[in-house]
Structure 1
Amino acid sequence: MEKNKIIRIKDIAKLSGVSVGTVDRVIHKRGKVSDEARKKVEKILKEIDYTPNLLAKTLGSNKTNKIAILVPHPEEDPYWKLSLDNLDAAKKEWQPYQMQIETYFFKLNDEQSFKKAAKNVLKNKPDAIISAPIFLNVALDFFNEIEDLGIPYVHFNTMINGVSPLAFIGQDLYQSGQLAGSLIALSTPSPSGTVAILHISEKVQHSVHFIEKERGFRDYFKEHQFNKMEVVSIIIEGDDMKSFESKLVEAIKSNDIKGLFIPTSSGAKLTANIISKYKLPNICIVGYDLLKENIELLKSGQINFLINQNPNKQVNRGIYHLANHLLFKKEPPNLELFPLEIITKHNLDSYIKSNLH
C-alpha cells in the first residue's frame, strides 16, 4: 500500500481476505465476527496503523466535545503563561473536529482558589479534563470525584499517587532533582561546603512537584557519598523584595553556599540579580525553563544551567491524547515522559534555532 494513500474499508477487506461488512464490524466493535476473521482484520489494521478518518467521523455527528484545562493563572507566573503559549493554535487545529477547549484558572498558592476553579469545571460538564494537580490533598479529592463521574483526564507537569489519569505528560520530577544535583556537583570545584534548594513563596508541604524535585536533589548527594557536602533548604516566604533580599543574602553567607537549585522558572532571575547586586562569591545556579529573562541570564553567565520542561508541548500533547480518546476511545500511553534537556549558554542558540522548544 502506498504511503499516505487513503485507506478504505474495502482495501482492508481485500488485504485481510474477508468481507467489507466483517471489517466494519471489527472496526466499530459491533455484531458477531469469528475469531479467525477478527485476527485477520486486526493484523492488517496493525500493519497499516489504521485510524478511522477523523474529519468524516466528526462532521457526521452533531456532538461537541468539551475539554477543560485546569491550571494556575498565567499572569501569576511566567511558567504557566508559557504552558498556554500555543493554546490558540491548538483550539484552531481541533475546531473542525468539534472540540471545544476551555480554560479554568486558580491562584498558584491558594488551595481554596483551586477548589473553586475545580467546582466551576464540573459545573460546566466537560467531556475530559487536563490539569496540573499542584495541591496534593485537594487534588486527590477532585480527581476521585471525576473518576466517580467517569470523566477521562490527563495530568501534566505534576504526577500524584492515589488516582488513575489516562496519562501523565511531563518530566520525571525526581530525576530532574537528581540532574540538578549532578550539575552542581560537576560545577563545584571543592568537595566540601553547602548546596541549597531555594523555595521562594511556595507552600512546599502541599506542592508535589517541589517535594519530588527536592527529594531527587538530596538523594543525589546521599547516593554519591558527598560526605563533606551539606544539603540545606532555604525557604523564603512573603512578597516583600527588601525582606527577600536580606533573607537570601544572610542564608548564602551563613551557610557558605556553593550551589543553588531553584525549582521554579521565575526564581532564577530574582536570585541571580541579588547575587550580582551584593557581589557574592561565585555560586553555581541551576534553574528551569526558557523564559526570556532566564535566557538573558544564561547568556550573561549569571546562571549556569536551565532544565527545560517544554510546558506548552505538555498541554498540546494532553489535548491530542484526550481528543483521540473522545473520538476513537484510543488509549494513550500511561506515561509520556519528556527528556530532561540541559541548556547552557553554549548550546542555547542552536537549541532555539532548532524550533524544538
Structure 2
Amino acid sequence: MARRAMADMGEGIAYGDKVVLQPHDDELGMLLGRSAAESCPGNQRLNWKLNALVSANARYCAVKIVGSNACNHALGLPRSQSQLILYDKLTMTPLAQFDGTAVSARRTGAYASIAVDLLLAHRERLSICLYGAGPIADCVVDDLHAHHAHRVNRIHVCSRRPSSAQAFAAAAAARTGLDVRSGDDDPGHVDLVITATNAGSPIVPVDRLHPDVAVLHLGGDELPVSFIEQVLARGSVICDDVASVCHRNSQSLPLYFSRQNLRLSDLGGLFRIRSLHDRTLRHGAVLARPALMTCVGLPVLDLYLAQWLYEQGAAAAGTAPTTPPLPPDRA
C-alpha cells in the first residue's frame, strides 16, 4: 500500500498536509515543576507537540491526531500516541477508527524495503546497520523480512542502551529468522544504514558512512554534518516529500539548511533533491553514491493503510464498502 500511495501522489490522486501545535519548552516547567533537560532522556529531541495529519485520495479521506513528548518516558508513558479516523470522501462520514500509533509504525517501517528497491536493487546480499530498538525499528525489520528476507545477510542493531539492543535483536531474530545481532562488535562495511531514533544530535560515526553507503533516515538529527555535505556535493538525496521534510525541519537534512538561515525547499533544485513520488525515480534510475533518503512519514501513507485495514475488515465480514448513490438529479 505504501508503494501505491507514492504512485498516486505522483499522479496527483493522493495528497495531504500536516498542522503542528508546539508549546514553548519553558511551559514544560510549569506543568512538571522541572525543566525539559531534567526530565527528558539525554540526546533526545523533546518533540513536544500535537499534530493533525489530513489526507485524501480518490475515495477516502483520513485524519490522524498525534500527541508526543519525549518526557513521557519519565512518566511511564509512551513517547507518542495517536488516533486515525477514515472517512468516506463524498459524504465525509466517519467509517472506521484505528490505533494510529500502530499504523504509524507500520507505515514508517515500510520505507525500509522501498529504500532497498530504489538504492540497492543491484545488491544480491545486504548488510544493514540499524540505529534504534523501539517500535519503528521492529517494523523496519519486519518489512525487510517481508520483502527482502533472501537478500539480508545481517542486521546489526545499535542503541543507546546495550540491554535494549540485545533484547531487540534476540526477539527480532526469533520472530523473523534473520541474522539480527547487537553488541559492541563493529559490523564493518555495511550497505545500508537506517536510523530510527529520536536523537537530538549525531550518533552515527563518520567512518560508518563510507562513500558507497546508502542511508535511510527515519529519525531525528542522527547524521553528522560532514556526511550531509558529502552527499549534497556528489551523491543522491531523496525525500519522501521535499516540501514536507522542509516544513517539519526536524531531521539532519533540513536542519543543515535551516541552521544557515536557508531552506531545503528553496535549494532542492540546485542540489537535485527529489521526492520519492518523482516519476524519474520509477524506471531503474542509477543513483550516485553516497545516497541519502530522508523520510518524515506522510499523511497519505496513513490513509492508504487505514483504507486497506477497513476494506480487509469489510471483506472478511462480507460487507464490501460502498459509496452512497447520488440523488437522481445528480446521478
Q: TM-score range by the shorter chain?
A: 0.3 to 0.5
Q: TM-score, normalised by structure 1?
A: 0.34
Q: TM-score, normalised by structure 2?
A: 0.36
| The structure with more radius of gyration | 1
More helix by share: 1
